[in-house]
Structure 1
């Protein structure tokens, strides 16, 4: 079955926490879990940093940090005043999504965290998010995390590529897991 879930909430609304809880339980159920999560890292500053977590390998690396943290080489603002983005982190995120897209089929769930402002400009993880959407034609489940104002963009990304789209507000990992199980035929 070709299913997509749009897991949405405002900043700090529990998208990644909900996704990670469901991913861990799906993996325990024998569902192949792939893709990426952007884990919030609180370090006492005004703005948090975010680390990339590759769900199939468990590898982590810096992905986003506040612009005032002396970014150094390998970081780009892409016009953002608050944050800078790791070029290596974004490259790795897109590689992980490419790898996940190549494995997409029934019994596989791929998480894409997060479709945001950069992706609206076809930057950031947009290439990987698009590969996953295209791969849905072969079956499987894709879970796209986004803020509430990006839901329609994700719907447009998925148009014609999936048989079913679920719109779920973050906070209910059990509901997300039920959808994943149902679409995975478990």
Structure 2
């Protein structure tokens, strides 16, 4: 019995030594499928649809995160001057309703950032989708048209709220020459 165990152990060790170099081949090196960048994401029509869906999703949460007893629509309501509700728990909301807010008020900051997130996502779609092949022209035209509309809608809202704002029509990175663009005229 001892002789059989020794023989099996030697065979197992020999097998491990022989299979070791084969098991470390390059074919096991995979890219993480969740590690997506604009360069490796926009490759098939489904990616274009998913990117457009993310622009729509950004619209839903635009302006959220202003604190307790607060919602994204309250910035638009407060600016009319007809809101009278006050909540002691949220000083930013009270300042907004009292029309004494500034650029640091959470509602203003969150709405600004939300609008420009929609614009940035739409710019990515408009920049990357035309290069996807094969993709039916009708689908490509539909996606690009919707992205242009969503970007225009975000710009329209931003111009109505703040007047002259930066006009960004291409995707930006931290190394972009126009990373901090000047305001463009409403004209």
TM-score for the superposition, normalised by structure 1: 0.29
Greater fraction of residues in strand = 1
- Larger Rg computed on CA atoms: 2
Relative contact order higher in (CA < 8 Å, ≥ 6 apart): 1
